[in-house]
Amino acid sequence: MAEFQEKIVHANGLDFGVKQWGSPDGTPTLGLHGWLDNAGTYDQLAPQLNALNFCAMDMAGHGLSTHRPPGCHYYITDYISDAIAIADRLSWPSFNLIGHSLGANVSLMLAGAYPDRIKKLVLIEGFGPHTRPAGAAGSQIRSAFAKMKNFDPNLQLIYNTWDEIVEKRMVGGTVVNRQAAESLCRRGTKDVSGGWTWRSDPRLRYASPLRFPEEEICALIAEVTAPTCLILGETGLPPAFMGIETRKKQHKNLSIETLPGQHHLHLEDQSGSVAAVINQFLEE
């Protein structure tokens, strides 16, 4: 399923860029990407997946999707609403979910909130959002709003050449190889006067004033009924960072696979190994 189609899907008052691989008759499968990434994160993996109608969406403020209106924020619950709205627009009463990093966190929460909608769940390097201690809501809100005051949402970094912005992505945030960086930059950058800049909404870098207590995330995980495969990279995010030891005890049907590779293992040289695990899981 190497060929893909580009779509724009209107939902929740926004236009979402969507890359679709496979046959419309395949199993409906929605792909969600990581923070500051885009649907290009599936460029290597998607062509290796079997018998799917795989639609990878640019989440709001990322890639080819529109930014949220002035005065709005990017709360994780909004991403859940967007994903459900996209599935509704695609006329999918139930579907598989594949998510990476932030997209995995959103996918896990969505599967807990809407268990009747999700057939199978694949999580790559993500197992739920960051949480806060009980009783820390006030300090979380104050800290986030203080950081927002010192943040310029109109700041636009311009890089002189395509190579320069690709090289910046190779070392920015989580390290990726050049092929992976080019996949993300093709969809995540734009040519402007004087060079290249990012398409993503600068407000995505705002600290969130809203975080759930760990107990609530564990309760939400307990609501997930879809068989779930969690794929980790040997040199990816530390399991403790994702809270796996505590959270996995809440899941009724979870398998965990650890493969060679780092945080973007599905977009790098290990994509074939990731695809093999996913194909076997989805075909069981």
Which residues are known catalytic residues?
A: 101
Q: Which residues contact 199 (CB under 8 A, 6 or more apart)?
A: 38, 62, 63, 64, 187, 188, 189, 190
Q: Which CATH class is domain 4-132+202-283?
A: alpha beta
pLDDT tens-digit readout, 141-188: 998 888 888 888 778 899 999 999 999 999 988 999 999 999 999 999
pLDDT band for position 133 (50/70/90)?
confident
Kindly tell me the burial class for residue 155, based on how many C-beta atoms sit within 10 Å of its own C-beta (0-12, 13-18, 19 or more).
exposed
Total-model pTM: 0.96
* Tokens encoding 126: 């993500």
pLDDT tens-digit readout, 239-250: 999 999 999 999
Domain positions in the chain: 4-132+202-283
pLDDT band for position 275 (50/70/90)?
very high
CA distance 103 to 83: 10
pLDDT given for residue 2 in this prediction: 65
pLDDT given for residue 233 in this prediction: 98
CA distance 26 to 52: 4
> What is the arithmetic mean of pLDDT over 200-219?
93
Q: How far lies 125's CA from each of 39, 99, 238, in Å?
A: 16, 9, 9
DSSP 68: P
145 or 236: which leads in pLDDT: 236
pLDDT band for position 77 (50/70/90)?
very high
pLDDT given for residue 1 in this prediction: 61
> What is the arithmetic mean of pLDDT over 12-38?
98
